[in-house]
Structure 1
Amino acid sequence: MSSAPKITHDYESWLRRQIPVIDADLETKHAQMKADGFTFFRATYYLWLARVAEQVPEVLRATTAPIVGDLHAENFGTWRDDSGDLRWGVNDLDELARGAWLLDPLRLAASAAMSPHLDLRTKDIADLVLEGYSTAVAGPSPRLSGARHLAALVPTFKDSDAFFKKLTAGAATADVDEAVRQAAAATVPGDWSPSWHVRQAGAGSLGHRRVVGVGRTAEGWAAREAKQLDPGTAAWARSYSDHLPIPAPDLYPAVVRTLDAPRASARVAGWQLRALAPDEVRIELSGLADADVTLVLKSMGAAMASVHGVDRQAFEAAQREARALDPDVFRGYVKTMKQTIEQDFENSR
């Protein structure tokens, strides 16, 4: 079994052959990976895929469906749809793929089990995620106006002016593809003449080029982020097992429509575009009462159905398998992967 540092080196060497890499951001990522186990988990999706193939290969025999891939407990948040309604669900679709449905709930449960300041046992976390998925109804992400149980847990929105001004703190840049500029402008009503800035964000995608356009319109501030995409981490990982997911960029438009994501969510010229706004926030698991954690974990499990359900037939088969899955078996998968990643973290510090 290859060491985590060796796998990291192999992945980053591959990445450099795919896209230009920002070395300073990659150094920041390496420092963050040494800080705590949960950040290490978030930043090493490539390692996760390699370890699944080694440690729990039976997971890869589950029904193939559209999956999020790089799913974790901080990959959920709020956004405004094109009607102005606030919705909540999966909010990072960089690694969409076709693969074993079981990979998404497994990664979500393992990430929650590694979340700091969460008192629930790994066993209970696994049960809640699987229950949420097993009982989900595929369809659009929920409006918070109709999901008051979730709405009550959403943090207070940030000060609008402060939020947008902070986005301009990055170095100004003219290195923005014209197709990206035009696509971004087309999603902003009225006259919008943004300044473009380098942006550093995320964990797993640090090292990728990322920029943000920020400016005022007659209706107020607007910001559009663009992040350069690579061919998909699963493309690199296929050397570990031909049962691992296959990147599926063609899924993106259908998933965006299903989620009722805003029109600004688009892919153009190898970049992923999205709107940034102060009311796009996460529900943090840390600090919640146990009853609220239970609610959010079930809701996260259910939110996967909005992505998997893009292929209705595959989702129905996956849900049947989820309902038939022995809870002890799933708990074992989660425990194994949690312990494996924790050991990799210790060996990488």
Structure 2
Amino acid sequence: MSFVEENAAYENWMRTVCDVVEDDLERKHDRMSKNTFKFLRATFFRWAHAIKTTAPEIMGLPAPLAVGDAHVENFGTWRDAETRLVWGVNDHDDAAEIPYASDILRLAVSVRLADFSVGNRDAAQAIFEGYGEGLRDPGPTLLDQKEMWMRDYVTVTDEQRKSFWDEIDDYPDASPSPEAETALLESFPTGSKFERFARASKGAGSLGRPRFVAVARWRGGRIAREAKALLSSGWDWAAGNPGRASRLDDAVNGETSAPDPFLHTDRGFVVRRIAADTRKLERDSDFDRKLDTRLMRAMGFEIGSIHASTSRLRQAMLNDLERRDAGWLYETAKATASAVETDFAEWSASNA
């Protein structure tokens, strides 16, 4: 099936399971046409097709509960139940049981397609080594204790704090579905004074899903929550299992993580607290400047740590990893990036 045909099939399926926001879907199409990195981010449902073509050998590897949509922008910060600042994978919407090599391969492909200043071979080396470390000695990345060096990568300025609330205030008013409304209101602490509901238009692969924000006041200040429609993983959809239940809750609460206590699923939505200092780290000039092999190694470590939560497969993953090296990751990422570029060219031609 061509990419254009598969994309249409995926979007038609989306319309059967949630109230698709057609304007956002058009916005997604526009972003997909910008460059191959944005295209990759928006098309995880196509990923299984790509790796079956370029790396069919990994399809039979041990399949832990994995991130799925791993890429260089899928990392961010949150506060755990002890209010410690944690850094790690920020979006588990596409979590599923996936051959372990897929996550690190997709991360390496995303670095290549984003065209960062870090060399692709060095990036593959850092990701590969970090992954092995995370698999062997898993645990959360705590910025208040173990990994204080990383705080410089996630520092929030006063300008960014103001910008966060300015963006919230600019969101248009909305009337969420009864399910989303209840999920949002029940996520606020007792004594909150509700102010308004708004509609947010964010993300890449999730553009088109209903996404709402609720704002309230609580004990002297404003607080906010977000609810985004929950779908089955794009991996399961591609495998012909579109009705398989989401594994998001299992993924975020793995035994090797320090989960965000505000993040959960409810009534068909992913609900989370949003704030200026608990955020997804997205690409900008500052991010590009700071991105280096040390941070890429940390990304690899985080993925390895997540995979280690599937403890029954940990030794099998380690055994297979020992038969590979960073050169394998570099070469496979190169071939897979080429397959993504082919799909991007088809999409661009169809929308010219």
Structure 1 and Structure 2 fold alike (TM over 0.5): yes
Letter in 2 for 1:13: N
SS of the equivalent of 1:78 reads strand
Q: Does 1:73 align with 2:72?
A: yes
Q: 1:223: how far off? A: 0.8
Q: CA deviation at 1:344?
A: 1.8
Confirm or deny: 8 A CA contact 1:67 1:307 kept in the other structure: yes
Residue 166 of structure 1 deviates from its aligned partner by 2.0
What does residue 264 of structure 2 align with?
266
Which stretch has the larger CA shift, 89-98 or 74-83?
74-83
Question: Could you give the per-residue CA deviations for residues 257-314 of structure 1, whole angstroms, max 9, x where no partner exists?
Answer: 5432322100011110111100124275866689951100000000013321221221
Pick aligned residue for 2:130 from 129, 132, 136: 132
1:220 to partner: Cα distance: 1.8
Deviation at 1:187, TM superposition (A): 4.5
CA distance in structure 2 between the partners assigned to 1:273 and 1:291 by the alignment: 30
Shift of 1:329: 2.5
Higher mean C-alpha displacement, 67-76 vs 154-163? 154-163
**What is the RMSD of the two structures over their aligned residues, measured on CA atoms?**
2.6
Q: Secondary structure at the match of 1:123?
A: helix
| Residues 1:234 and 2:232 aligned together | no
Task: Figure out how many residues of one structure are paired with residues of the other and give that number.
Answer: 343
* Matches of 2:121 and 2:314, distance apart in 1: 24
Q: Secondary structure at the match of 2:141?
A: coil
Q: Deviations over 1:131-178 (max 9, x none)?
A: 100112222332344312211222434544542242132222222335
**Structure 2 CA distance for aligned equivalents of residues 336 and 246 of structure 1:** 31
Tell me the TM-score normalised to structure 2 length.
0.88
Alignment of 1:1-349 (within 5 A): 2-116=1-115, 118-136=116-134, 137-157=137-157, 158-178=159-179, 181-182=182-183, 184-188=185-189, 190-239=191-240, 249-250=246-247, 252-253=249-250, 255-256=252-253, 258=255, 259-281=257-279, 282=281, 284=283, 293-349=292-348
Q: Structure 2 CA distance, aligned partners of 1:285 and 1:123?
A: 23
Pair 253,85 (structure 1): closer, same or farther in 2 beyond 3 Å: same
Once residues 227 and 81 of structure 2 are traced to their aligned partners in structure 1, the CA distance between those partners, rounded to angstroms, is: 19
State the secondary structure of the residue aligned to 2:215: strand
Distance 1:49 1:200 in 2: 27
Structure 2 unaligned segments of length 5 or more: list them: none
SS in 1 for 2:123: helix
Greater Cα offset, 34-43 or 136-145: 136-145
Report the TM-score when normalising by structure 1: 0.89
1: CA distance between counterparts of 2:179 and 2:268?
A: 12
Q: CA deviation at 1:247?
A: 5.6
- Contact 2:180 2:227 (C-alpha < 8 Å) held by counterparts: no
Q: 1:166 to 1:112 in 2, by over 3 A?
A: same
SS at match of 2:313: helix
